[in-house]
Structure formats: structure tokens, C-alpha cells
Amino acid sequence: MRVLLLGGTAEARALAARLYPDVDVISSLAGRVPDPALPAGPVRIGGFGGEAGLRHWLTVHDIDCVVDATHPFAATITAHAAAACAELGMPYVVLSRPAWTTENVITAASNAEAAKIVARHHYSRIFLTTGRSGVSAFADSDALFVIRVVTPPEPETLPRRHRLVLSRGPYRYEDEYALMREFRVEAMITKNSGGAMTQPKLDAAAALGVAVVMIERPSLPAGVQTVSTVDAAVDWLTAIPGVPVIPVR
């Protein structure tokens, strides 16, 4: 039994650590982040070449099932994986961490809608934590953006007034609180990624009275089976004939 684990998240790394070396698991990373945190076991880095490329890769490498533990906003690879596995009749599950509650936040369907919201509310100092790909939606704003990313965005996508903070989580509440106070942040724009790793920024925003604009998750492909924890993913795998007993670690 050979498992492809579509990864790049903390949950994917935790699952790989649970599986390896008892299960023949290959973790796949997109390769967009330099010097990524690597999971246990074999790793491949890079794209597959669309749905057809992924379907071919699964066949050539004798993959028996796929666990999709990519970021909740990695909609393209999830759509490709769901379609490829359906075509091949291959077991497929999405490990999706629970979303954050949207109580006391302003929700937006996209980066573009979030940009309209902050303009409508006339926020002048904004903490932007949507990742480098979402920065361009705010390029025409006159507000000051504190932009936290792992790697710098392309210069032409940046707002006129900005400060770059290059860092990688997890983040502590005390540091998030201090950052928002230092820059006198009025509003924070974030994706509804869920999970404990970046929860402190929401707690700090609530303590400081900072408005939160939260971009909603893309919908999963219809009919896809999901689990919300690493333990549940292990249970899903062990129910497949041929998967060995996975010890508790």
C-alpha cells in the first residue's frame, strides 16, 4: 500500500510522522516556499502538471490512495486531486483543519472584496496576513499596510505605503499583540485558515479592538470525504485493506 500525502501544513507533517516508516508514504510539497519544513519520510517538491499530470503520476508511481492535507486555500490542487482520484477510482480524503468562527468579524469572499471593505470603512493602518499572492488586490489603496509574508511579494504588487515583515509561524500572542500596538493597527485582513498556529493574531486583535476582515474558504469539490484531525486521517487509512497497523506515537 503506497500513500501520496499532499502536504505543506503542520497537519501533513504530523500525519507523515505518524505513518513513516510503517506505511509507504510519499509527501508532496508545492515548492512555493524556500527552505520548507520537511516531513518525515520521502518527499517530492513541485507541481504535477494539472489534473492529467497528477493522474499520470499516481499511475506511474503505483499510488493506492491519496490524503490531501494541503492548505485550506489550496483550491487548485484539491480540485485536481479530487478529479484525478475519482477518475482512477482511488480512495481520497481531505484532511481539513476546522475553520475559525466568524463571530465578531467581517467576512469577505475574496481579496478583492476585502479591499473594498477596508476602503469603505476608511481603515488607514492595516495588518495584512493573506500571503504574498493576495497582496496585489490592495495595490491601489492609500492605507499603510503591514504585510507579513514568508517571502517578499513582487514589488509591482505592493501598496504604495507598506512595511514588510518577513517571518514564518507559529506566532505567540505576546508578539502579535506587540506588533499590532507598534504599528497602531486598525484592521487586520486574514484568511480563514483555522488552526492553532496562527490563532494568537485573532486573540491579540480582539484584545486591542482591532477589526478583523476574514476571507472565507473556497468550497471543496462536491462529494469529497473530509476528516478534521490527524487521528481521523489515520483511522481512515487503517480502514483501507492493505494498510498496516499504525502504531500510536
DSSP H or E stretch at residue 125: strand 125-129
Helices (H), the chain: 10-19, 50-60, 75-88, 111-120, 173-182, 199-208, 230-238
| Predicted TM-score (pTM) of this structure | 0.92
DSSP E strand stretches across 141-244: 144-149, 161-166, 187-191, 211-215, 226-227
Calpha distance 205→191 (Å, rounded): 14
**182 CB-contact burial (10 Å; exposed 0-12 / middle 13-18 / buried 19+):** exposed
Average pLDDT of the residues in 74-99: 97
Digit-coded pLDDT (tens) for 8-55: 999 999 999 999 999 999 999 998 877 888 999 999 999 999 999 999
CA nearest 108: which of 223, 228, 216? 216
Average pLDDT, integer, range 80-105: 96
| Share above pLDDT 70 across residues of the chain, in percent, rounded to a whole number | 100
Is 180:208 a contact under the CB 8 Å cutoff?
Answer: yes
Give the model's confidence band at 76: pLDDT under 50 very low, under 70 low, under 90 confident, else very high. very high
| Residues 215, 62: Cα–Cα separation, whole Å | 38
All structural domains of the chain, each given as residue ranges with its CATH number in brackets, are 2-98+219-238 (3.40.50.720), 106-215 (3.40.50.720)
pLDDT above 80 for 103:
yes
What is the Cα–Cα distance from 178 to 204, expressed in whole angstroms? 9
- The CA distance from 212 to 233, in Å, is 31
Q: In this predicted structure, what is the pLDDT of residue 34?
A: 77
Is residue 91 over pLDDT 90?
Answer: yes
DSSP state of 6: E
Q: Is the pLDDT of residue 69 over 90?
A: yes
Averaged pLDDT score across all residues of the chain? 95
- Write out pLDDT tens, residues 138-175: 999 999 999 999 999 999 999 999 999 999 888 999 99
**DSSP per residue over 71-98, as a string?**
-TT-HHHHHHHHHHHHHHT--EEEE-PP
Position 34, amino acid: P
Residue 154's pLDDT is what?
Answer: 94
